[in-house]
Structure 1
């Protein structure tokens, strides 16, 4: 049986953006995360492509995924 951890680990090893890997491992589409986070699909796609975002944006995405992100100070 393949677990979310297995799927996430394989994605990260292959160089997938961590948020993309989490989203895909949990089975969410960009549309679902956009609705839950209040962001646009375009904004999410841009982030997944370049990996740069404001901490508040990361908080909105991780909240929509049901996880908590802790930012380093």
Structure 2
């Protein structure tokens, strides 16, 4: 179960543009899209900047990205 709502995902999709399919990951357009979603994550949740830890694999950003991709592709 995701900690995020469809409203979070819909706002991200509207703000960041069309989703890039998984099979296209690690191409320049996919990386640009990932960066847009990453930046928008902190627009949605500005308090997350205070304790952002890139070494923590379970960081909420990674969980948000995983859940967002699942939502878009469903």
Q: Could you state the TM-score of these two structures normalised by the residue count of structure 1?
A: 0.31
Structure with the larger RCO, 1 or 2 (CA within 8 Å, 6+ apart): 2
Flag the structure with higher helix content: 2
Q: Could you state the TM-score of these two structures normalised by the residue count of structure 2?
A: 0.31
